[in-house]
Structure 1
Amino acid sequence: MDRSTALQKIRKCLALARSANEHEAAAALRQARKLMDAYQLSELDVSLAEVSEAKIKASASRQPALWEAALANLVASAFGCRLFFLMPANASTVGAYWQFIGIEPAGDIAAYGFSCLLRQAKAARRDYLATALQRCRPANKTRRADVFCQGWVGAVARQLGEFAQPSEAQSALLTAYIDQQNAITRSLTARDRNARGAANRQDLVQGHLAGRAARLHHGVARDTQARHLEFLSQDK
């Protein structure tokens, strides 16, 4: 048995230790302690095993669009996750990723939710480019489409805000997990194509109206009692 497998077994034992049957609970607790001693695992090690990571491919390799970064941040915050933008190690490597770190199963849920919403936002963007912006110059098309997407994200933000935030204990655990990784991080500056000019308010309004079509609903998985999402908008 390797360390990872031992951690999973310990977590199962600790879950059984909450049994109403005192004999079963005591036996499970003894087994958990035995495994922790055998593999030299601390209580913090066991707690950190509850943290999971999930990655979703980003649209840009170096500097994501402001609206995409805003969407990723919204989803991460809604599910109590920490968000990182993982850039390629060198210029020859293609692709970057959004990484969601959360207490299981929040990381996987956030990554899944973000991938669905990102796909929907891009579909709405394509439709807007092909209709309302079809006669614009290429440079203006991209800039105005970004404003549309910002409005779209703003509309979705209200729905994401309905979900619970992490407790102080969970936040502390995430901080401990990230510190343990010894990762080198720095602040991300997203790409704002409208930084030097006034945004078209009509694009923002149209984006907001389109974003209101995205519907997010709470759900509960029967086997794990884990919170998950159903994305019921027209996912293109």
Structure 2
Amino acid sequence: MDKKTAIEKIKKCLALAKSANEHEAAAALRQAQALMEKFGVEDDDILMSEVCKDHVKAGAKAKPVQWESWLAVTVAKAFGCEIVFTRSLSAGYWLFIGCGPAPEIATYAYKVLLRQLKKARAEYQKRECKRLIPASRIRRSDLFCEGWVNAVSSKIAKFAGSQRNTEALKAYMTKECADLESLATRDRQAGKSLRGGDDGAHYAGWKSGKNAQLNHGIGGAADTTLSLGHTPQLS
């Protein structure tokens, strides 16, 4: 038996220790304590066994744009996850850390929303940015994206309805992510004053984001399409 297997057995013993049968409960607790001592298992190890991870490729290797970071943080928070930006030699990744199916669902939601946002951004550029120089086109498009994320963030938490296992995540983050540094994102608006049309770009993004959609269900669950802007359940 390795440590991982021992932890699963300890968890079962601790569950039995809650039995109404005093003898059964006492025996289960003794077995759990014996296994913990034998395999060097601590209370935090048991808590951390509830934590799992899922990841999705980011749009940058080292410094993602600000609106992308906002979207990742918004989704993680809504589904009861912690979010970490990590990178390999070839790419950057958003790592969703949570309990049960939460990281998988958060990753799914992020991919769906990012795909819709990129499509909306492209349509906005084609419709509104034809005559702009490249720098202005990027600035307006980023403002559009920020407005889009703002609209989604006000609705997605109600859609998710996830419960956060605070103790398990705290134990995991303390042990595994203690040395994390603050993520420096690319804010292409930093130090720049808004110009004519910039406010309109943000508002156009906000209006577009109100029409974003997610499927309420993943895997074997029923896939019911819900609008984040016009669904009664989210009002």
Partner of 1:136: 132
Alignment TM-score, normalising by the size of structure 2: 0.78
Specify the SS of the correspondent of 1:161: helix
Partner of 2:142: 146
Q: Contact 1:113/1:229 (CA < 8 Å) preserved in 2?
A: no
Specify the SS of the correspondent of 2:128: coil
Residue 97 of structure 1: CA displacement? 0.8
Q: Deviations for 1:102-121, whole angstroms, at most 9, x for unmatched residues?
A: 22232222222212211221
Q: Contact 1:217/1:229 (CA < 8 Å) preserved in 2?
A: yes
Q: Deviations for 1:183-207, whole angstroms, at most 9, x for unmatched residues?
A: 5321112111122131611111111
Specify the SS of the correspondent of 1:102: strand
Partner of 2:7: 7
Q: Deviations for 1:167-222, whole angstroms, at most 9, x for unmatched residues?
A: 6xx33432221221255321112111122131611111111111111234766999
How high is the sequence identity, in percent, across the aligned residues?
A: 43
Indicate how the Cα distance of structure 1 residues 42 and 201 shifts in structure 2: closer, same or farther if over 3 A, else same.
same
Moved more, 127-136 or 4-13: 4-13
Choose which of 203, 206, 217 in structure 1 pairs with 2:204.
Answer: 206
Partner of 1:184: 179
Partner of 1:58: 58
Moved more, 172-181 or 145-154: 172-181
Q: Contact 1:79/1:166 (CA < 8 Å) preserved in 2?
A: yes
Indicate how the Cα distance of structure 1 residues 7 and 157 shifts in structure 2: closer, same or farther if over 3 A, else same.
same
Distance in 1 (alpha carbons) for counterparts of 2:209 and 2:21 = 50
Q: Contact 1:80/1:166 (CA < 8 Å) preserved in 2?
A: yes
Alignment partner of 1:75 is 2:75: yes
Indicate how the Cα distance of structure 1 residues 125 and 221 shifts in structure 2: closer, same or farther if over 3 A, else same.
closer
Moved more, 143-152 or 5-14: 5-14
Indicate the RMSD between aligned Cα atoms, in angstroms: 3.4
Q: Contact 2:113/2:214 (CA < 8 Å) preserved in 1?
A: no
AA at the equivalent of 1:156: V
Structure 1 unaligned spans of 5+:
none
AA at the equivalent of 1:211: G
Choose which of 83, 91, 94 in structure 1 pairs with 2:90.
Answer: 94
Residue 86 of structure 1: CA displacement? 1.0
Partner of 2:114: 118
AA at the equivalent of 1:101: I
Indicate how the Cα distance of structure 1 residues 41 and 152 shifts in structure 2: closer, same or farther if over 3 A, else same.
same
Indicate how the Cα distance of structure 1 residues 14 and 127 shifts in structure 2: closer, same or farther if over 3 A, else same.
farther
Structure 2 unaligned spans of 5+:
228-235
Indicate how the Cα distance of structure 1 residues 121 and 31 shifts in structure 2: closer, same or farther if over 3 A, else same.
farther
Distance in 2 (alpha carbons) for counterparts of 1:39 and 1:231 = 47
Alignment TM-score, normalising by the size of structure 1: 0.78
Residue 7 of structure 1: CA displacement? 2.3
Q: Deviations for 1:40-99, whole angstroms, at most 9, x for unmatched residues?
A: 3222211110111221111011211111111111111112222211133xxxx2111111
